[in-house]
Amino acid sequence: MEERFTLSDAQVAPASNKMLWAGRIISALPVLMMLFGGVYSLVKPAAVAEGLTKYGYPAQLALTFGLLELVCAALYAIPRTAVLGAILLTGYLGGAVATHVRIGEPFIIPVLLGVLVWLGLYLRDARLRALLPLRS
């Protein structure tokens, strides 16, 4: 019989209250940024169309980008789907980095948001800490 590796509750140390709240606060920063950007894209002011055109995207993609940002942020904010949300946000932010690199602009903001996504999740999710222990 094949044995499968699972992370049972006995193998995963629970987060301290301070660690859990630090993770929630850190996680709130990228969620708020993505929610703001998503809602802003849905409202579609002229600045959104100009920005998309500047980066080489059709202005009609504002709705798609806005919905994508909102869905990714919502999935990340819900504890049960937070890992999926973090993976999707990483992909989305990776596209933002690639776009900025392509036109020669600084790309530190999407990189920092990606780091905050995973740091916040690491602090609030014991399964991730068990999977990626920083110390033994």
Q: Is the pLDDT of residue 4 over 70?
A: no
Element containing residue 95 per DSSP (H, E): helix 82-103
Q: Is the pLDDT of residue 72 over 90?
A: yes
Q: Given the structure tokens 């036109």, which residue do they identify?
A: 103
The pLDDT assigned to 12 comes to: 58
Residue 78 CB-density burial (10 A; 0-12 exposed, 13-18 middle, 19+ buried) = exposed
For the segment 5-36, what is each residue's pLDDT rounded down to a tens digit?
555 544 556 668 899 999 999 999 999 999 99
Q: What is the pLDDT of residue 9?
A: 46
Residue-range domain boundaries for the chain: 17-131
- Mean pLDDT to the nearest integer, 94-120: 96
pLDDT value of residue 80: 94
**45 in Cβ contact with 51 (< 8 Å):** no
Q: Which residue has the tokens 């301290």?
A: 16
DSSP code at position 15: P
Mean pLDDT over the full length of the chain? 89
pLDDT at res. 10: 42
